[in-house]
Amino acid sequence: MKKTLVAMMAALLCISLFAGCGGSAQEPAAAQENAGKEETENAAEENAGESEALADGILKVGTNAEFPPFEYVGDNGEPDGFDIALIKEIGKKLGVEVQVENMEFDALVASIGKKVDVAIAGMTVTDERKKTVDFSNPYYMAVQYVILPEGSGIAGAEDLSGKKIGVQLGTTGDFIAEEIENAEVSQYNKALDAVNDLINGRLDCVIVDKNPALVFETRFEGQVKAVDGDNFGFEPEEYAISLPKGDTVLAEKINAALQEMMEDGTFDALVAEYIEES
């Protein structure tokens, strides 16, 4: 907003300066007028290229650092992970400072355009969320997995009915579980807490995204196994960055940065570092 005003004032100043100094015979009035018009048009073009979210030079990013390997709290106590590295690279390309804010997953969508500019959190593109936010182009394919205790007899969709299912609140796993017949769904703020309850025998299974499920399987080796949701008829999902509704300039810039990273190998390097290593 501020930037817009400054640009407008600068344009006005240019016009008045031009008009003020151009009264001589060498500068026909029509030329002055045209030059003035050009300045105004340039300024308008610049304004049209502005993103509200980027205007202060800071990209405030919401995440929920409970979703390894996409986001977790690093050794230094700060959010880290694939998504965090990705958005920092995007910030560099956009020439803005990236500030990451850790919050509950369920609060992210409502915070966009208010507390934060955008959110990156292994967030699946859904029609419901699209009513509130826009999404960047997708950057990762996922599917829900089912985490089971070792020796569980659950193997397919029909085995899930009537079961005690743990999910992370407000996630696509939560939405799937709510559709399962007679299921007793427990919603957690952290998927890890659900997995702990599974290990303690309080749940029959946990439904969570593929990559975190694989991380938990490794972390609790011998206690749980992660099963591909494809066996349960779960649909593939796409992760994207959620953006303030209508900020098309921001969307274009983020999509261009993503595209560049996919073409120049930076994206694959991050996949190798954060996802394949996990």
Binding site for ligand GLN (CB under 6 A): 64, 67, 105, 121-124, 168, 171-172, 209
In the complex, least distance from residue 179 CB atom to ligand GLN, rounded to whole angstroms: 14
Whose Cβ is closer to ligand GLN: residue 36's or residue 170's? 170
Q: What CA–CA distance (Å, rounded) separates 217 from 25?
A: 82
Q: Are 253 and 51 in contact (CB under 8 A)?
A: yes
Give 51 or 172: the residue with its C-beta nearer to ligand GLN.
172
Q: Is the dihedral of CA 109, 110, 112, 116 positive or negative?
A: negative
Query: What is the C-alpha to C-alpha distance for residues 146 and 151, in angstroms, rounded to an integer?
Result: 14
Shortest gap between Cβ of 98 and ligand GLN (angstroms)?
18
Nearer to ligand GLN, 47 or 278 (CB): 278
Q: Classify 81 in phi/psi space as left (phi over 0), alpha (psi -120 to 50) or beta.
A: left
CB closer to ligand GLN, 52 vs 104: 104
For 202, the token pair is 């309080």
- What would the two tokens of residue 57 be? 């030079």
> Nearest approach, Cβ of 175 to ligand GLN (angstroms)?
8
SS3 per residue for 66-83: EECCCEEECCCCCEECHH
Q: Rank residues 172 and 266 by Cβ distance to ligand GLN and give the closer one.
A: 172
Query: What's the min distance (Å) between Cβ of 122 and ligand GLN?
Result: 4
Tell how many helices (H) and how many strands (E) occur in the chain: 10, 15
Query: Quick count: other Cβ atoms within 10 Å of Cβ 89?
Result: 19
For residue 181, the minimal CB distance to ligand GLN (Å) is: 21
Pinpoint the alpha helices (H) of 60-139: 82-94, 105-111, 127-130
Please name the amino acid found at residue 117.
D
Nearer to ligand GLN by Cβ, of 46 and 106: the residue is 106
CB of 172 to ligand GLN, least distance (A): 4
- Phi, psi (degrees; rounded to nearest 5) at 65: -80, 55
Q: Please name the residue that has the structure tokens 């779960």.
A: 234
Neighbours of 236 (CB within 10 A): 12
> At closest approach, how far in Å is the CB of 208 from ligand GLN?
7
Residue closer to ligand GLN, measured from CB, 39 or 134 = 134
